[in-house]
Every structure is written in C-alpha cells, then in structure tokens.
C-alpha cells in the first residue's frame, strides 16, 4: 500500500483501527520485558543503582528528538507533498514529543543531583533540550491560536522546519562544546561503550518507548480526524441554523 492510499482519512481510520490493538499489545509486552531486564541489571561500578534512571532517561531523550523528526517529515508532507494527513500527523506528535521531552528533563535532573551534585546547569546539552521543550510548547500554542486547521497546519509546519535545526545541535552539543553532560555512549562510530548487561535492557526499553510513541501517535491522529469531522458538522449545523 502506497503512502498516498492513506490520504483518505476513512481508509486511515479503518487501517489504524486494525493495527492499534496489536501495537498496544506489543508495547505492553515490550515494557514487561524491559522492566524485568531493568530490575535484573547490575549496578554501575561508578554510579551504583542510579544507572537505573538511564533506562527511562535515555529512551525519553531519543524520543524527544524523534518526535520533532516525525513532525519535520510531516511538515514536509504538508508544505511539499500536500498530503491530507500530514498536518494531522504533525499536530498529533507535538504533545507526545513534549511529554517525552519533559520526562527527559525531569529524570535527567533527578539523575544529575546525586551524580553531579546539582539538579540543573545551563550547559549546551541541557539548554538545547530545554529549548526543544519550549519549541514543542510553541507549536502546540500556534495550533491553538489559529482556528482554520489548514492555515494553522502551514504555520506550524514552517515553525517545525525552522526548529529542526535544534536536533543536530542537541545530538552534537556534547562534542562541539565542553559540557557537564557525558558524551554519546550508545550511538557512536566506535560502537557502544556500555557493557551488554546494561546495554540490552536499555535497548529493550528504547524499543518499548518507541512502540509507545507510535501507539499514542496513531491514537492521537485518529482523534485529530474525528475532531475535524466534528468541526465540519458544527459548521454544517451553523449553516443550517434559521436566520442565516
């Protein structure tokens, strides 16, 4: 099935309705597996048991960036390919991405206190992720400011494309600047610098979080389609009202 076949919202609702229960079940199973591995993972030789925060902090950080990447692809879909579902995909991803960014910031702060001796420093990694959170809030606010979904979608798409510059800044901030935050230890050219006993639970949790993201995104997109149907019915009702 081509992407354009999903341009029909009714067809998308039918297909996503079939996929959603399976995706939710896979997410739940993956979380059970991930928590079981997390509970059995050994303590880090330097950080002790606080390394367990990594199993939720790192996947949240990845999804914070992935959320904006999904929105960027959706923004291109809105502005370049004019795909009817693209702006809905972008709008649905924003609150989910914001939630994962907030989780990343809070868990990072709670990890930083015992390890660095402080909840927060204005270093490049932490600041760029905080800017990402503000940008998510900005896109959500923009969608709520403009009534017409088509106009709001275009404006949000432009803001999303401009904000995409922050994603490589977040990723490479630890290499470009001297930061308190540690450099990349999983995704790097020389391979992961983490022992498999900690790496495997981390990757399983990352898969579980990613499945959760897509489950929620699909559900939120379905809501967005229903919202537009409600809006068109409200407009029809207003047109049919006596005195017009």
Partner 1 sequence: MDLGPHATFIIASYAVTAFIIALLIGWIFAENRALKRTLSDFESRGITRRSDDRKRELRKSEAHSVA
Contacting residues toward partner 1, per CB under 8 A: 39, 43, 48-50, 52-53, 56-57, 60, 95-96, 99, 102-103, 106-107, 110-111, 113-114, 212, 216, 219-220, 222-223, 226-227, 229-230, 232-233, 236-237, 240
* Inter-residue contact 217 to 96 (CB < 8 Å): yes
In the complex, minimum distance from the CB of residue 95 to partner 1, in angstroms, rounded to a whole number = 7
Q: Which class for 51: exposed (0-12), middle (13-18), buried (19 or more C-beta within 10 A)?
A: buried
CA dist., res. 230 & res. 226, Å (int): 6
Phi, psi dihedrals of residue 69, rounded to the nearest 5°: -65, -45
The DSSP symbol for 84 reads T
* Residue (4 or 230) nearer to partner 1, CB: 230
In the complex, minimum distance from the CB of residue 168 to partner 1, in angstroms, rounded to a whole number = 26
* Residue (79 or 91) nearer to partner 1, CB: 91
In the complex, minimum distance from the CB of residue 48 to partner 1, in angstroms, rounded to a whole number = 5
* Residue (44 or 161) nearer to partner 1, CB: 44
* Residue (48 or 183) nearer to partner 1, CB: 48
Alpha-helical runs (H) found in the chain: 9-40, 54-79, 86-116, 124-145, 149-163, 166-176, 196-240
In the complex, minimum distance from the CB of residue 229 to partner 1, in angstroms, rounded to a whole number = 6
């Amino acid at each position: 099935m081509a992407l354009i076949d999903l341009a029909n919202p009714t067809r998308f609702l039918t297909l996503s309705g079939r996929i959603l229960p399976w995706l939710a079940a896979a997410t739940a199973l993956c979380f059970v597996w991930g928590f079981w591995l997390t509970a059995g993972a050994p303590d880090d030789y330097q950080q002790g048991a606080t390394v367990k925060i990594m199993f939720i902090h790192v996947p949240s950080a990845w999804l914070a960036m992935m959320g904006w990447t999904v929105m960027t692809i959706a923004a291109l879909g809105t502005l370049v390919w004019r795909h009817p579902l693209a702006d809905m995909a972008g709008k649905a991803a924003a609150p989910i991405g914001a939630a994962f960014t907030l989780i990343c910031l809070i868990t990072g702060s709670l990890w930083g206190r015992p390890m660095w001796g402080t909840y927060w420093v204005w270093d490049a990694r932490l600041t760029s992720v905080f800017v990402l959170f503000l940008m998510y809030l900005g896109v959500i606010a923009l969608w709520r400011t403009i009534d017409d979904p088509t106009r709001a979608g275009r404006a949000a798409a432009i803001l999303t494309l401009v904000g995409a510059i922050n994603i490589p800044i977040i990723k490479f901030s630890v290499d470009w600047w001297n930061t308190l935050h540690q450099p990349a230890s999983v995704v790097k050219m020389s391979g992961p610098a983490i022992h498999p006993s900690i790496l495997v639970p981390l990757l399983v949790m990352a898969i579980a979080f990613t499945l959760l993201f897509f489950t929620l995104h699909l559900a939120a997109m379905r809501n967005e389609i229903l919202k537009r149907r409600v809006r068109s019915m409200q407009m029809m009702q207003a047109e049919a009202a006596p005195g017009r």
